Amino acid sequence: MFPSVSSTALAAKPPSLDHVHAAALPFAGLVEAGRVRVHVARVLPLADAAKAHELSETGRVRGKIVLTV
Quote the pTM value. Answer: 0.54
Instruction: Give the DSSP letter string of 16-45.
Output: PHHHHHHHHHHHHHHHHTT---PPEEEEEE
pLDDT tens track of the chain, all 69 residues?
Answer: 556 666 666 777 888 888 888 888 888 889 889 998 889 999 999 999 999 999 999 989 999 999 999
The pLDDT of residue 28 is 87
